[in-house]
């Protein structure tokens, strides 16, 4: 992913990201801007997109986004087919009677090019807007963590933060706060739908998964699967049923010998198998196994719709592995 630095600011080099990268960034931006109040649908263009690349529905109002990766615009002196393509996309989109139609391009439009786009609305009951390079740069600047999740050139900043961890905390608690905050900003750049909150409890670091927007569990679902190694003791089995079956606010701790593995499926940076794993066809010895735990987490279930909360019994999960412990909100679990 191409980036350029403007002082302390990182900006996307749109001419280097290519069509797929451009589409992914715009799609993520639209999700971030509208997910909280509308339904966002990204249309797969295979077989024809019917004039819709992204559709945002808010009640009776429909916004249609048309993405065109035209780095050098669509002047009349060159690339003559581009204006025809834009007009055809607009005409197809009008069949869906949108309230607003937005053309998204990674370049800076000339006055003539902008006038051509706005003229498409003549005789149509629709608003026409343009998201060009300046607009996209501004939106990404307002959502710096989203930009970081694509550019990853933030590694430079991450390295600076890591180096500071070894410095003396001469300003005491204020230095601790500043550095933890900086690490939090880096964690926010891991993903455009989820972030990780963290806290230190003695020698254990607790990681808590947190959604960045209300539909994170739908756009980027996370699934956790527990594999057991045998029947639980009666009292422990009852505690599991209370916690998972009825969402009671109690913590359930499973001994190492009761769990074979816990598998997390979701974003690449989070997915994996935790616990008793296999290496070279043989299991790791039991002393290497972590301790697993889950707990009721109804307070975090507000990010799921009511029907989803009921189906999932409003439970979350926490898992301890070595010196790290993860907690999963109910909305993340499926």
The verdict on 85 and 162 lying in the same domain is: no
Query: Does one domain contain both 233 and 286?
Result: yes
Residues 259 and 186 in one domain: no
Give the whole-angstrom CA distance, residue 284 versus residue 278.
6
Q: Given a cut of 80, is residue 235 above it in pLDDT?
A: yes
pLDDT of 56 reads: 96
CA pair distance 256, 291, nearest whole angstrom: 5
Q: Which residues contact 30 (CB under 8 A, 6 or more apart)?
A: 40, 54, 56, 65
Same domain, 170 and 231: no
Task: Name the domain count of the chain.
Answer: 3
Query: Which tens digits make up the pLDDT trace of 274-328?
Result: 654 332 222 322 223 333 344 433 333 223 333 333 333 233 444 444 454 555 5
pTM of this structure: 0.53
Q: What is the pLDDT of residue 216?
A: 84
Residue 107 belongs to domain spanning = 3-142
Q: Distance (Å, rounded) from C-alpha 248 to C-alpha 304?
A: 18
Q: State the pLDDT confidence band at 334, using cuts at 50, 70 and 90.
A: very low
**DSSP 3-state of 39:** strand
Do the domain assignments include residue 148? no
**pLDDT value at position 327?**
55
Task: Read off the pLDDT of each residue in 63-84 and give the average, rounded to a whole number.
Answer: 93
> Based on the domain organization, do 109 and 178 belong to the same domain?
no
Q: What's residue 31's pLDDT?
A: 94
Half-sphere exposure of 318 (CA within 13 A, CB side): 20
CA atoms in the 13 A half-sphere facing the CB of 27? 16
pLDDT for 274: 67
- Of all residues in the chain, the percent with pLDDT exceeding 90 is 30
Per mean pLDDT, which of 143-152, 187-196, 215-224 is the most reliable?
A: 187-196
The two beta strands, 100-104 and 61-67, are parallel
Same domain, 63 and 46: yes
Whole-angstrom distance, CA of residue 101 vs CA of residue 65: 6
CA distances from 16 to 98, 106, 215, 283, 318 (A): 32, 11, 30, 45, 41
Residue 76 clears pLDDT 50, i.e. is over it: yes
């Amino acid at each position: 992913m191409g980036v350029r630095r403007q002082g302390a600011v990182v900006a996307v080099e749109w001419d280097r990201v290519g069509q797929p990268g451009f589409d992914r960034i715009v799609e993520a931006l639209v999700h971030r801007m509208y997910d909280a109040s509308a339904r966002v649908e990204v249309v797969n263009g295979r077989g024809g997109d019917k004039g819709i690349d992204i559709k945002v529905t808010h009640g009776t109002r429909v916004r249609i986004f048309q993405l065109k990766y035209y780095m050098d615009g669509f002047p009349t002196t060159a690339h003559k087919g581009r204006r025809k393509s834009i007009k055809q996309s607009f005409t197809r989109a009008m069949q869906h009677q949108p309230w607003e139609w937005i053309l998204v391009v990674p370049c800076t439009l000339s006055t003539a090019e902008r006038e051509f786009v706005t003229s498409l609305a003549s005789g149509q009951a629709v608003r026409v807007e343009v998201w060009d390079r300046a607009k996209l740069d501004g939106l990404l600047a307002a959502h710096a963590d989203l930009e970081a999740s694509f550019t990853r050139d933030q590694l430079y900043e991450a390295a600076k933060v890591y180096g500071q961890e070894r410095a003396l905390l001469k300003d005491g608690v204020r230095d601790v706060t500043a550095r933890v905050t900086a690490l939090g900003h880096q964690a926010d750049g891991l993903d455009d739908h989820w972030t990780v909150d963290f806290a230190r409890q003695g020698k254990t670091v607790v990681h808590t998964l947190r959604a960045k927007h209300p539909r994170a569990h739908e756009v980027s679902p996370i699934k956790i699967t527990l594999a057991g190694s045998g029947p639980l003791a009666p009292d422990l089995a009852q505690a599991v049923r209370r916690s998972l079956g009825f969402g009671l606010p109690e913590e359930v701790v499973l001994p190492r010998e009761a769990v074979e593995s816990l598998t997390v499926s979701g974003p690449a940076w989070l997915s994996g198998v935790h616990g008793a794993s296999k290496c070279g066809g043989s299991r790791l010895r039991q002393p290497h196994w972590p301790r697993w735990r889950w707990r009721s987490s109804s307070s975090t279930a507000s990010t799921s719709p009511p029907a989803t909360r009921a189906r999932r019994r409003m439970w979350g999960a926490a898992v301890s592995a070595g010196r790290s412990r993860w907690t999963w909100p109910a909305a993340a679990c499926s």
